Structure 1
């Protein structure tokens, strides 16, 4: 007897199941079983043929890990540039169509086209206005408190200011990708309305890496859109083993070097505290020009040098080329009211000077 059932045999078997002549358990799980037992749930996994998953789960995990390194480097760079703590972290990494990505973006926004000579095609870097304008406010000396977020495209001046931020992002992105390929990313164009930009067909599969940026009391999102056809040549290199094998070799030294350069460029405020005292509110209200405020600090005692409001050094005052100057005497030790070791210093009546 042949192992393949004839059509009439299949029909007879199905009819026997329907009429109860054959126990349903005997054919449970067969592809031609029409019915399930009452109350039994059938696991069905939906599959959208318009959105095929062209990137494997291992490759998606590798992409997420790669861009987590980018987020850390970008956050460190922004912290040094803006002189405040900026936290950047990966919020999600998923596949979707380019049309779905575009419709999910606000309008207006900061929409930048990113390209690398080693890749064919372009990527998109979108930064939300919710964090763009606080960054601009910070660059212009503001505190981001009670900041109004305008619903308009950025001006030319604002665009130029943000270009310094995106450039640091591209440097961090190149560093993150260096474990896979040596790439140099650059901005080819910028747009405020994402609906006007179409780098791939609407139904083309793209990988979107979403980031969350936090700065002081402000937060916003950033999205990196990578079309599949752009990274297809390096998909084999995105296996988890190849990524982890190369990431640990250069991560520590490159990060330390980069942090060192950022810290060296950072500006800090330095002040010299002559003396401090207290007074009553009535005395404060009655102060007039010419009044003297007498402190308990001896005239010959060194002054404190504070770096960003933190006590760091002892110094004596003088002048250099007609300008007030501070000569460092010793490092400040926590809790001390004067230098722990006597320092050689000029008399108070003849402060140090190098001449006018």
Structure 2
């Protein structure tokens, strides 16, 4: 549980990272070669781990400031981390809060991040939140959308071509040698599956282009 202060809004909000995401980040930072489901032992974080969590909270604070810029400029600053929620008195039990949850996937580990914002903070700027966007705000929104599209289009994709499949027994697999021929479920002239992100998305046909092996897309699956 991380406390983030907001000077412009005269208050603070809480950011909570799923422990699985925190441990996966720590594993990557400290040289882990494979991100796997961590063992959460119910212990408190060490000083080194808390330092890494603070860095994550600092990154979150910077991104929060950028996200709020089109609506209202705020200044976010990491204050402290608490393992015991009883030590953080945010609002009274009767007060309304806004909770936003985001999901993350790091290879085969899924987790979340939650942001808790008291309604009292939002009430001080409700005129900015409910007013009609200005021309400048609309232009900023358009630029932001175009930038997001550009970033999404530049995401690298892992593309693989499946030539064929065959199910064999362990005995046959262990008995395979250098010259062993394995018959697959397709002939040479059959179209092949083009895998994107581990899933078959396109159909294609093998060939050669400028001296290199290539695949010509013939349709979608």
The TM tier, using the shorter chain, reads: 0.5 to 0.7
- In 2 relative to 1, CA 243–198 (structure 1 residues): closer, same or farther, beyond 3 Å? farther
Pair 1:175–1:155, CA change in 2 (3 A): same
Query: TM-score by structure 2 length?
Result: 0.61
Partner of 2:212: 335
Alignment of 1:279-290 (within 5 A): none
2:16 paired residue among 98, 123, 126: 126
Which of residues 168, 171, 186 in structure 1 aligns to 2:62? 171
Instruction: Indicate whether 1:185 and 2:87 are aligned.
Output: no
Shift of 1:172: 1.1
Structure-to-structure mapping, 1:37-76, within 5 angstroms: none
Aligned equivalents of 1:246, 1:218: Cα separation in 2:
37
Which runs of 5 or more residues in structure 1 are unaligned? 1-110, 264-280, 283-332, 337-356
String of CA shifts for 1:200-257, please: whole Å, max 9, x gaps.
Answer: 1122111111111111111111111111111211112112733897154256369859
Any idea what SS the aligned residue of 1:219 has? strand
Change (3 A) 1:152 1:114: same
1:156 to 1:202, Cα distance in 2 relative to 1, 3 A: same
Match 1:201 to one of 80, 92, 102: 92
Runs of 4+ displaced beyond 2 Å: 240-245, 250-257, 333-336
Question: Is the 2:4–2:76 contact (alpha carbons within 8 Å) kept by the matching residues of 1?
Answer: yes
- Out of 239, 242, 262, the residue aligned to residue 133 of structure 2 is 242
Secondary structure of the residue aligned to 2:101 is strand
3-state secondary structure, aligned to 1:170: helix
Compare CA radii of gyration and give the structure with the larger one.
Answer: 1
Q: Which has the higher strand share?
A: 2
Equivalent pair of 1:180/1:243 in contact (CA under 8 Å): no
Give the conservation status (yes or no) of the 8 Å contact 2:24–2:37.
Answer: no
Matches within 5 A, 1:304-315: none
Establish whether residue 218 from structure 1 lines up as the match of residue 95 from structure 2: no
Question: Alpha-carbon deviation of 1:150?
Answer: 2.6
* Distance apart, 1:147 and its partner CA: 2.8
Contact 2:104 2:112 in 1 (8 A): yes
Superimposed CA distance per residue, residues 234-285 of structure 1 (whole angstroms, 9 cap, x where no aligned partner): 112112733897154256369859x99xx9xxxxxxxxxxxxxxxxx99xxx
Counterpart CA distance in 1 for 2:52 and 2:98 is: 28
Matched, 1:150 2:27: no
Q: Secondary structure at the match of 2:71?
A: coil
Aligned mates of 1:243, 1:222 — CA distance in 2: 31
Q: Which of 118, 122, 125 in structure 2 is aligned with 1:231?
A: 122
Unaligned runs of 5+ in 2: 155-176, 179-209, 214-221
- Provide the aligned length of Structure 1 versus Structure 2: 156
Aligned residue for 1:252? 143
TM-score by length of 1: 0.39
Determine helix, strand or coil for the equivalent of 1:149.
coil
1:177 deviates by 0.5
- For the structure 1 residues 243 and 210, does the alpha-carbon distance in structure 2 shift closer, same or farther, using more than 3 Å as the test? farther
Q: Is the 8 A contact 2:6 2:76 kept in 1?
A: yes
- In 2, distance between residues paired with 1:147 and 1:220? 11
Do the aligned residues in 2 keep the contact of 1:179 with 1:243 (CA within 8 Å)? no
SS at match of 1:212: strand
